Amino acid sequence: MQTHEETVQSQFDPRAAAYLTSAVHSAGPDLELAKVLVAHGVPAAAQALDIGCGAGHLSFALAPHVAHLVAVDPSPSMLAAVSRTAAARQLRQIETRQGTAESLPFADGTFQLACTRYSAHHWTRIEKAVRELSRVLTPGGHALVIDTLGQEDPLVDTFMQSMELLRDPSHVRNRSQAEWRSLMQSAGLSELEHAEWPTRLDFASWVERMRTPAERVAVIRSLQDGAPREVRQALRIEADGSFTIQTGLFWLRKHA
């Protein structure tokens, strides 16, 4: 029986290439806004950290706007993909480091920018992870958090979280906007800006990216087919199983 950390690694290690080319991960309005916020809000000499970097899309977007960026992830294959792509794009600012969000291998106040994108829903101890993010920031430093959001309606949220877990056993939980605000406030981070976008998940590529077993795919489709009308409407469930959730971006500053 694997630990959760081992499950995360076994899920994502063989899928680095799929995440590198994934349309959902490689582009989006959140990346465009992230570049603008960092370019205008963080000094060009800044040291930056990307927590749970995955295939590196946030690192690639932000690296040109900072002096040095450390991309951290528990998956060696993801880190190797980031290193190869950074070299190909001549992004010499990027360094990779293996590690987890809950135990960052850096001293207090190391970075002027700490960010994460599409990783936090895999964190088992999110309160500790957000405190770690804040700990490694300099006083007055900035944080950027991007993730798919949980639903405020408990019924809709239960269906969404169930689909996510069936598709990917390393999934823990998508946090709602209200939950994120409470976590950040507790970690000494003040919100400067927030934005949200609908994110459509094409069902076929969504399950293929994780190589979800056929029997679990069938359970997800059965769950969707039996969902009440309000769930189907809220998640915009389509005939082929594709559905839409929200991506949230939080731009924050650590208390000085």
Residue 142, pLDDT score:
98
In angstroms and rounded to an integer, the radius of gyration of the C-alpha atoms of the chain is 18
Q: Which residue has the tokens 């792509």?
A: 85
Secondary structure of residue 125 in the 3-state scheme: coil
Cβ density class 219-248: b for 16+ within 10 Å, e for less: bbeebbeebeeebbebbebeeebbbebbbb
In terms of CATH, what superfamily is 4-150+170-199+246-254? Vaccinia Virus protein VP39 (3.40.50.150)
Residue 256, pLDDT score:
83
Residue 25, pLDDT score:
56
Residues of the chain with pLDDT under 50: 13, 19, 24
Backbone dihedral region of 241: left (phi > 0), alpha (psi from -120 to 50 degrees) or beta?
A: left
Backbone dihedral region of 235: left (phi > 0), alpha (psi from -120 to 50 degrees) or beta?
A: alpha
Residue 14, pLDDT score:
54
Residue 5, pLDDT score:
62
DSSP symbol at 74: S
Average model confidence (pLDDT) across the chain? 92
Residue 114, pLDDT score:
98
Secondary structure of residue 212 in the 3-state scheme: coil
Ordered by start, the domain boundaries in the chain are 4-150+170-199+246-254
Model confidence pLDDT, tens digit, residues 159-169: 999 999 999 99
Residue 7, pLDDT score:
57
Residue 28, pLDDT score:
86
Q: How far is it, in rounded angstroms, from Cα 184 to Cα 187? A: 5
CA angle 34, 38, 43 (to 5 degrees): 170
